[in-house]
A and B are shown apart, each in its own frame.
Chain A
Amino acid sequence: MSRRDGVGGWLGRRASTAERHALGALGVATAAVLLVVFYYPVLTVFADAVRIGDAWSLDVVREVLEDPFYFGPLAAVFAGDFGSVGAVAADTPLGRFGFTAYQAALSTLASVALGLPGAYVLARYEFPGRRTVRSLTILPFVLPSIMVAIGFVAFFGSAGPLNDLLARFGLGRVNLLFTLEAIVVAHAFYNAPLVARVTTAAWESVDARTVETARSLGASPRRAFLDVLVPQLLPAVLTGALLTFVFTFMSFPIVLALGGFQLATVEVWVYSLVQQLDYAEAATLAVVETVLSLALTYAYLRYESSQSGGSRAANPPARKRLVPETPSAGALAERVGVAAYAGVVAVVFLGPLASMVAESLTGPQGFTLQYYQFLLERQATGASFQTKPGVAVRNSLLFGAAALAVALPMGVTVSVLTTRSGRAERLADAAAMAPLAVSGVVVGLGMLRGLVFGVEVWGHRLQIAGPTAIVAAHAVAAYPFVVRNVSPLLGGLDRSMVESARALGASRVRALIDVELPLVASGVAAGAAFAFAISIGEFDSTVILATGSSSYTMPVAVERYIGNRTLGPATAMGTVLLAVTSLSFVVIDRLGGRWEA
């Protein structure tokens, strides 16, 4: 026995066995939840694709692959019928998949084109409210996509503000509804801020001395920009573009509302097949889509990790003022460009939301509250099969709180277990992040076909209720955002902090509670607010799981109110949704959230 044992050693409050294994237990629980509410449903969809009745069969897969409606000329190639490629190409040049990729590519180009000037302004200019604008670039992530879609419908409509604006300038009317252009612009609304944000971050981490060195070596400002700055920004731009492509490839509500079934992407087509109860074909399409989006996400993750080569010395160049100190023709021209860009941004980003609110207050005879009155009446007197706004609000808030309660511990656990990881942990990280890459429609479909319809487990019929499934789907969609908010902060903590606590006698879980969590509290809070907002706005899986039931949420209610001749009720419901979402954004902001999701 040590002579110090008596005073310091074995008499103290040692950790209990449960405490010792708490983190491992949380990890197992998280894995189990993911398995049941994510991997199992997705596998259900995969199985649906290759089963007819009780027999395994690749017939449906082959049918889909060889159908020019889906794959255009590629279908002929898949069928081995090379002779007819030309004929098919003339008839259906793209197919659903081709069209999906095509609109994603156009949307990516538009997002980059709209986002890069924004990155330039945010990174190079100092102006009042710059930080606010910078943090607003996260907003699209928390804006419910169906609400944005409704906003664009109101905005683009033939009587909408865009046409009023064009008419004021003496320009002809355009009809953008149900056109590819509308989809692309709406996608840019979502993703240009993403491109702007990642590029701004890269720009702000550029070491100004690299540019100064190039100048001192004889490079002109333009050459220094091209030779030194652009190569440092390019990885960020590509990261943003790749992510945009993945998102727009899987985009659902925007295309559903703005493109309809005429301009359906694969995701929308899967949804329409589900509505027609053609599960086998829906599953097959979903499988092909999921394989493609997983491959794209994998490419993105590989690229991202190959680029994150240690933190550079952040010594960004000084920002310019909006009013140039030494007026010159060049400086003036640049400011005019910035002003024009600000105008475009105002139209694209404020237009749809403002139009939605305006539309909800505008009746045939001008200003009216009749649509809000309609919402109230529907709530008071609606039949049970009708969609009641109050129920939608209540469901949204309940599901949001429940999804948060599941997603937060899951996200924190995944962050803790995968930060500072070896190869095995990186694999676990990828597996845990897969929900980001799988569309909500697929998860929703899988849950519907599996746990909601019921499965036999060892002779017992296992079945979960619709609301439970919705909460599970929301939690799965939301927790990666908790991880993305918490992990960077956790990774930035000095590991000796935790090690000091442990050497002083704290178990791993105690060190987490006493030291790590207090230090990453802002990230946890932001992740929580994010998770809540994602749940509030989630549409893709909810619309499937809530079909024909009363567990609809606000976004689903918005969608159900479309279809009437007027946009009034839908925009009114959308405005209610906007109010709730704005509130959660304010909460995020007050909590000092980090916006690098």
Chain B
Amino acid sequence: MTDLRLRGVSKSFGEVTALRDVSLDVADGEFFTLVGPSGCGKTTTLRAIAGFETPDAGSVAFGDREMAGVAPEDRDVGVVFQNYALFPHMTVAENVAYGLRFREVPGGGSREERVAELLELVDLAGFGDREPDELSGGQRQRVALARALAPGPEVLLLDEPMSALDARLRQRLRTQVRAIQSELAITTVYVTHDQEEALAISDRVAVMNGGRVEQVGAPEAVYRRPATRFVAEFLGDNNVFTGEVDGGAVRVGASRFRVAGLDAPDGAPVTLCVRPEHLAVGDATNAFEATVETVEFLGEAFRASLDWDGREVTLRVPERPEARRLTVGFEPDDAHVVSVDGREPAVRRVEE
């Protein structure tokens, strides 16, 4: 079993703290994604797993093997970088075969067979004699993946592998990567800043911000029940309201909202969020009146920006709102409390 365990990992670069007390568990064969804005520490976390960075504190373990002091070449990781990092002076086949110079060929066949097998796996059979600069971006990325997988690593690490590609190709390739990962059942850590990508392909995601892990969970759970205001706003659009508890409801401005499962004393300040797609035009259990500022057509829906007494509210509706002033409502089940008394649990695991 190759599960991956990070405990209390911290790392600073000079004055800049990149990681603060990061603890994570990745299960054997799991597709685990680190997502967050640039500078959040996701890449540093990946590099600490690969052995390219030495943590200032904390530990990294693969199964029961502690990784402290183990050089990158001794960790049995496969790494794919954003810019492919193919060796330009080697052919595609030589690139894929490079790792086999140092390790036994998995399955016991010849190197040539292994290279052919891997190129087949990434749909590049027959490309072995090409030079890397004869390939398109997507093909190069698949060669990089084949090269990383060829020695049969225990852990696959992908550092923003798609971000240099255009949107359509990215979608196709991520489906392919996920399929290959499932087929090999290899423990995988994927780093991306693209929240949509993270939600689309992961078994679980860890949302990072400012060198900390804000929340770990399955995509739906993290999306529906964000643990912090940051997570609520980072994953998709969200409307965040601050108010205070008043007789079992939350008072925001002049309105009182009923919220499912609210558990806080009267007077406590509360932050809650409602997804734009959960707001509807018309009366509901919770409702308020707001002014339409702008409307954008998104294809499958409309996105309206409203002004509610100085608060910005985003609404996602199937029909273009015609009136300038709208009554907007939502049900108690669709509101989610992210903090009470200004305290957010540092890491709240939400498992479904």
Among the listed A5, A503, A510, A514, which residue makes an inter-chain contact with B78, where contact means beta carbons less than 8 Å apart? A503
Number of chain A residues close to chain B: CB under 8 A: 31
Known contacts A15-B73, A507-B73; A4/B154 CB under 8 A: yes
Asked whether A12 lies within 8 Å of B2 as measured between CB atoms, the reply is no
What is the bound-complex CA distance between A15 and B52, given in angstroms? 17
Does residue A275 face the partner (Cβ distance < 8 Å to B)?
A: no
Asked whether A502 lies within 8 Å of B72 as measured between CB atoms, the reply is yes
Known contacts A2-B1, A9-B103; A503/B148 CB under 8 A: yes
Asked whether B99 lies within 8 Å of A494 as measured between CB atoms, the reply is no
What is the bound-complex CA distance between A3 and B28, given in angstroms? 11
Q: Is the interface of A mostly helix, strand, loop or mixed?
A: helix
Mark each residue of chain A from 1 to 34: 1 if its CB lies under 8 Å from any CB of chain B, else 0: 0111101110111110000100000000000000
Asked whether A13 lies within 8 Å of B102 as measured between CB atoms, the reply is yes
Does residue A504 face the partner (Cβ distance < 8 Å to B)?
A: yes
What is the bound-complex CA distance between A24 and B50, given in angstroms? 22
Asked whether B103 lies within 8 Å of A502 as measured between CB atoms, the reply is no
Q: Is the interface of B mostly helix, strand, loop or mixed?
A: loop
Asked whether A14 lies within 8 Å of B102 as measured between CB atoms, the reply is yes
Asked whether A500 lies within 8 Å of B81 as measured between CB atoms, the reply is yes
Look across to chain A and name the residue whose beta carbon is closest to the beta carbon of B82: A496
Residue of A9, A503, A506, A515 most packed against chain B (CB within 10 A) = A503
Among the listed A13, A499, A518, which residue makes an inter-chain contact with B101, where contact means beta carbons less than 8 Å apart? A13
Does residue A314 face the partner (Cβ distance < 8 Å to B)?
A: no
Which A residues are CB-close (under 8 A) to B72?
A: 499, 502-503
Among the listed B98, B103, B154, which residue makes an inter-chain contact with A514, where contact means beta carbons less than 8 Å apart? B98
What is the bound-complex CA distance between A506 and B51, given in angstroms? 13
Asked whether A504 lies within 8 Å of B1 as measured between CB atoms, the reply is no
Tell me the minimal C-beta distance from A248 to chain B in angstroms: 38
Look across to chain B and name the residue whose beta carbon is closest to the beta carbon of A498: B85
Known contacts A2-B1, A8-B154, A518-B89; A503/B102 CB under 8 A: no
Mark each residue of chain A from 317 to 356: 1 if its CB lies under 8 Å from any CB of chain B, else 0: 0000000000000000000000000000000000000000
What is the bound-complex CA distance between A12 and B73, given in angstroms? 11
Number of chain B residues close to chain A: CB under 8 A: 41
Does residue A431 face the partner (Cβ distance < 8 Å to B)?
A: no
What is the bound-complex CA distance between A13 and B105, given in angstroms? 11
Tell me the minimal C-beta distance from B70 to chain A in angstroms: 12
Among the listed B52, B78, B102, B148, which residue makes an inter-chain contact with A506, where contact means beta carbons less than 8 Å apart? B102
Does residue B77 face the partner (Cβ distance < 8 Å to A)?
A: yes
Which A residues are CB-close (under 8 A) to B106?
A: 4, 7-8
Which B residues are CB-close (under 8 A) to A496?
A: 79, 81-83, 85
Look across to chain A and name the residue whose beta carbon is closest to the beta carbon of B96: A504
Asked whether B1 lies within 8 Å of A12 as measured between CB atoms, the reply is no
Does residue B75 face the partner (Cβ distance < 8 Å to A)?
A: yes
Asked whether B89 lies within 8 Å of A12 as measured between CB atoms, the reply is no
Does residue A133 face the partner (Cβ distance < 8 Å to B)?
A: no
Does residue B204 face the partner (Cβ distance < 8 Å to A)?
A: no
What is the bound-complex CA distance between A457 and B106, given in angstroms? 57
Asked whether A7 lies within 8 Å of B107 as measured between CB atoms, the reply is yes
Asked whether B103 lies within 8 Å of A8 as measured between CB atoms, the reply is yes
What is the bound-complex CA distance between A377 and B50, given in angstroms? 69
Does residue B152 face the partner (Cβ distance < 8 Å to A)?
A: yes
Which A residues are CB-close (under 8 A) to B152?
A: 4, 7-8
What is the bound-complex CA distance between A14 and B71, given in angstroms? 11
Does residue B63 face the partner (Cβ distance < 8 Å to A)?
A: yes
What is the bound-complex CA distance between A515 and B152, given in angstroms? 21
Mark each residue of chain B from 24 to 65: 1 if its CB lies under 8 Å from any CB of chain A, else 0: 000000000000000000000000001110000000001100
Mark each residue of chain A from 525 to 567: 1 if its CB lies under 8 Å from any CB of chain B, else 0: 0000000000000000000000000000000000000000000
Does residue B76 face the partner (Cβ distance < 8 Å to A)?
A: yes
Which A residues are CB-close (under 8 A) to B157?
A: 503
Does residue A80 face the partner (Cβ distance < 8 Å to B)?
A: no
Tell me the minimal C-beta distance from B75 to chain A in angstroms: 7
Which B residues are CB-close (under 8 A) to A504?
A: 73, 78, 98-99, 102, 147-148, 150-151
Does residue A52 face the partner (Cβ distance < 8 Å to B)?
A: no
Does residue B138 face the partner (Cβ distance < 8 Å to A)?
A: no
Among the listed B63, B102, B108, B148, which residue makes an inter-chain contact with A12, where contact means beta carbons less than 8 Å apart? B102
Look across to chain B and name the residue whose beta carbon is closest to the beta carbon of A507: B73
Does residue B309 face the partner (Cβ distance < 8 Å to A)?
A: no
Asked whether B88 lies within 8 Å of A519 as measured between CB atoms, the reply is yes
Among the listed B52, B85, B147, B151, which residue makes an inter-chain contact with A8, where contact means beta carbons less than 8 Å apart? B151
Mark each residue of chain A from 474 to 514: 1 if its CB lies under 8 Å from any CB of chain B, else 0: 00000000000000000000101101111111111010001
Asked whether A519 lies within 8 Å of B79 as measured between CB atoms, the reply is no
Among the listed A7, A13, A503, which residue makes an inter-chain contact with B79, where contact means beta carbons less than 8 Å apart? A503
Which B residues are CB-close (under 8 A) to A15?
A: 73, 102
Asked whether B153 lies within 8 Å of A500 as measured between CB atoms, the reply is no
Does residue B74 face the partner (Cβ distance < 8 Å to A)?
A: yes
What is the bound-complex CA distance between A7 and B186, given in angstroms? 14
What is the bound-complex CA distance between A15 and B75, given in angstroms? 13
Tell me the minimal C-beta distance from A123 to chain B in angstroms: 29
Which B residues are CB-close (under 8 A) to A20?
A: 71
Does residue B230 face the partner (Cβ distance < 8 Å to A)?
A: no
Tell me the minimal C-beta distance from B148 to chain A in angstroms: 7
Which A residues are CB-close (under 8 A) to B98?
A: 501, 504, 506, 514
Known contacts A8-B153, A497-B87, A506-B102; A2/B79 CB under 8 A: no
What is the bound-complex CA distance between A260 and B164, given in angstroms? 64
Does residue B104 face the partner (Cβ distance < 8 Å to A)?
A: yes
Which B residues are CB-close (under 8 A) to A497?
A: 85, 87
Instruction: Knowing that A503-B50, A507-B71 touch, tell me 15 more A-B residue pairs with CB under 8 angstroms.
Output: A2-B154, A3-B2, A4-B154, A7-B106, A8-B106, A13-B101, A496-B79, A500-B85, A500-B147, A500-B148, A503-B75, A505-B74, A505-B101, A505-B103, A519-B89
Q: A interface vs B, CB < 8 Å? A: 2-5, 7-9, 11-15, 20, 494, 496-497, 499-508, 510, 514-515, 518-519
A-B contact pairs, 27 of them (CB 8 A): A2-B63, A3-B2, A7-B108, A7-B152, A8-B106, A8-B152, A11-B103, A12-B104, A13-B103, A15-B73, A20-B71, A494-B83, A496-B79, A496-B85, A499-B52, A499-B85, A500-B85, A500-B87, A501-B87, A502-B52, A503-B73, A503-B78, A504-B78, A504-B102, A505-B102, A505-B151, A506-B101
Across the A-B interface, give the 8 residue pairs with the lowest CB-CB distance, nearest first: A505-B102, A8-B152, A12-B103, A504-B99, A7-B106, A496-B85, A496-B81, A503-B79
